[in-house]
Amino acid sequence: MARIAVVGSVARDEVIKLDEPLREGTHLSGTPAGARLGGGAACTAVPLAYAGHEVAVFGSIGDDDVGTELLAELAATGVITTPIVRLNQPSTRSLILLDNFGERTIVNVQRTHEEKPPRRLLEWHADCVYVRSRRLDLGPLLAEQAATAQVIAHVPPSADGMRPAHVLIASASDVGPELLEDPFAAGRRIAGDVLQWIVVTHGARGAVAHGAGTVLEVPTRKVSPVDTTGAGDSFAAGLVHALVGGAPMAAALTCAVDWGAEATLWESSVLPQAAVAALLQ
């Protein structure tokens, strides 16, 4: 199994179940449905740890009770938490507005922000680095990492040279036509010449991987979503798991789509251990 570093956030997700779909300009009612472990880094790292990889999260949390709880919950899954720094700030919190079709809207209400990029990443000697962060200052650090490890990064940010990486992942709903019209060319601008693939997810339609002169498309299986929170992060975890295992992109894309679809069937931000075990069979 691989040694994987995940850069990004660990958050407390506070869920509100809406009585009707979210609509602009309306008064809605909902029911609090509890709090749970969330954040892009946690939601990607935990399934990878359940799959047997050695996984560490590089990020920050607050020096408060919420941060203490989040650290304990994350460590209990097998994820290495020692690279997470504690800051004199409130811990990251998000509101998850979940409608009765399983669609989620995320409202970030608090962000713990580390002042400088986590250069301690270079000392951990990962086989693969996955980046789920919108920090604008990670480019130089990722360029250094790309010389010794496989780098897989989520976009946005999508400015030129912002994400030196071998593989980029983008959601079609998060990016504009300038990327979707020619994804590989746009990816090369964002990642540089090291880029091999840019993967674009299309929700219930599946995902498409764009390489140099190659396009691979995998549809998703039909499901009745319960909770779509974290589905994109589970997709990324499946992709990383397959790629670090040596799978070609076609097989890795199929694995990623399966993991992402499975995540929608659970009331959780993080893909549960039982689900990962079933996916690995």
pLDDT of the residue at 155: 96
Report the C-alpha gap between 172 and 64 in whole angstroms: 36
In this structure, the dihedral spanned by the alpha carbons of residues 206, 94, 62 and 33, taken in order and rounded to 10 degrees, is: -110
Report the C-alpha gap between 107 and 94 in whole angstroms: 6
CATH code at 262?
3.40.1190.20
Mean pLDDT for the chain overall: 96
pLDDT in tens, 200-240: 999 889 999 999 999 999 999 999 999 999 999 999 999 99
pLDDT of the residue at 236: 98
Q: State how many domains the chain has.
A: 1
* Residue type present at position 274: A
pLDDT of the residue at 132: 96
What range defines the domain where residue 114 resides? Answer: 3-280
pLDDT of the residue at 25: 87
Q: What is the mean pLDDT of residues 232-249?
A: 98
Q: What is the mean pLDDT of residues 20-41?
A: 92
pLDDT at 23 over 90: no
pLDDT of the residue at 235: 98
Question: Half-sphere exposure (CA, 13 Å, Cβ side) for 202?
Answer: 12
pLDDT at 2 over 90: yes
Position 252 confidence tier, pLDDT thresholds 50, 70, 90: very high
* Residue type present at position 17: K
Q: What is the mean pLDDT of residues 184-193?
A: 97
